[in-house]
């Protein structure tokens, strides 16, 4: 099942890469001011883990549950973020820009966040930055780059390939998600009402916290806000199992996976289409 999921992610990320325009990604980066970049860093890397710790204390969650929420808050940039934003009608080019940006910063910032969280609870935890970079490069950067190169070399053929990749990838990932939900059943059964509430509040906080920090409710801000709620579930599970050697945070991570899907789905339906302000 692990290899099946990797194949589905690879196919769908390759399809996303074919649809991207590198020039538009670069223009999206240039369009954000220094102030907005700093607020985006705060919304992406600082607000979610801080909110996770606050919710853990406020709702009197146990240590493993709080740790699971913290790990989710610390790792942005789910592999299929860009595809999810496109499905919900948001700006796919801006979502791709955010995915590349957050992926580049993850190996720099996340080890410091995890080390700080461990220090707060009396544990020494260090995540090798190159390990994070390797995971992100394999899951995101490589297939995106291959897709962009492919469309540059053979544009007409690559468009036809993209139309075939998307349904195949969707079918594979649907099968894998059903299997994963079945496999995560025991973990989901351990989710208490308070933990479910904390996961839901964390997803809402990631989304609406980004909107408040980033300013005017334009389509760009809506896209970045939805992307911010789409945390990297797989990377959080990896950190829990391989770095912390503790599977007890898994129920919290599973609870957030469900909560984030609900929040992003509802927000995608309710969010109004807002035109970008004219450039000056």
Residues 202-237 have pLDDT tens digits of 999 999 999 999 887 788 888 999 999 999 888 898
What value does the mean pLDDT take over residues 150-160?
78
CB 265 within 8 Å of CB 206:
no
- pLDDT confidence bin for 247, thresholds 50/70/90: confident
Q: For the ranges 8-22, 48-62, 139-153, 239-253, which has the lowest average pLDDT?
A: 8-22
Kindly indicate the confidence band of residue 2, based on its pLDDT and cuts at 50, 70 and 90.
low
What pLDDT does 42 receive?
A: 96
Rounded distance between C-alpha atoms, residue 18 and residue 87, angstroms: 16
pLDDT tier for residue 188 given thresholds of 50, 70 and 90:
confident
The DSSP secondary structure of 91-138, one letter per residue, reads -HHHHHHHHHHHHHHHHHHHHHHHHHHHHHTT------HHHHHHHHII
């Amino acid at each position: 099942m692990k290899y099946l999921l990797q194949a589905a992610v690879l196919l769908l990320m390759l399809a996303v890469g074919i649809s991207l325009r590198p020039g538009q990604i670069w223009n999206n980066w240039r369009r954000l001011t220094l102030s907005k970049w700093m607020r985006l860093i705060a919304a992406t890397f600082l607000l979610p883990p801080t909110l996770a710790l606050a919710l853990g204390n406020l709702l009197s969650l146990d240590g493993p549950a709080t740790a699971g929420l913290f790990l989710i808050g610390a790792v942005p940039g789910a592999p299929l973020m860009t595809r999810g934003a496109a499905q919900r009608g948001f700006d796919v080019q801006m979502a791709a820009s955010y995915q590349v940006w957050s992926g580049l910063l993850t190996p720099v910032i996340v080890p410091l966040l995890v080390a700080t969280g461990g220090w707060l609870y009396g544990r020494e935890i260090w995540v090798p930055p190159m390990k994070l970079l390797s995971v992100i490069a394999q899951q995101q950067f490589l297939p995106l780059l291959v897709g962009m190169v492919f469309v540059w070399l053979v544009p007409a053929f690559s468009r036809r390939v993209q139309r075939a990749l998307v349904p195949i990838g969707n079918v594979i990932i649907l099968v894998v998600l059903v299997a994963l939900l079945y496999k995560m059943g025991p973990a989901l059964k351990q989710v208490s009402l308070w933990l479910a509430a904390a996961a839901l509040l964390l997803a809402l906080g990631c989304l609406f916290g980004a909107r408040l920090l980033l300013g005017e409710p334009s389509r760009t801000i809506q896209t970045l806000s939805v992307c911010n709620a789409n945390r990297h579930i797989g990377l959080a599970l990896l950190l829990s199992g391989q770095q912390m050697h503790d599977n007890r945070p898994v129920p919290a991570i599973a609870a957030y996976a469900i909560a984030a899907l609900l929040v992003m789905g509802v927000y995608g339906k309710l969010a109004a289409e807002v035109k970008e302000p004219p450039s000056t």
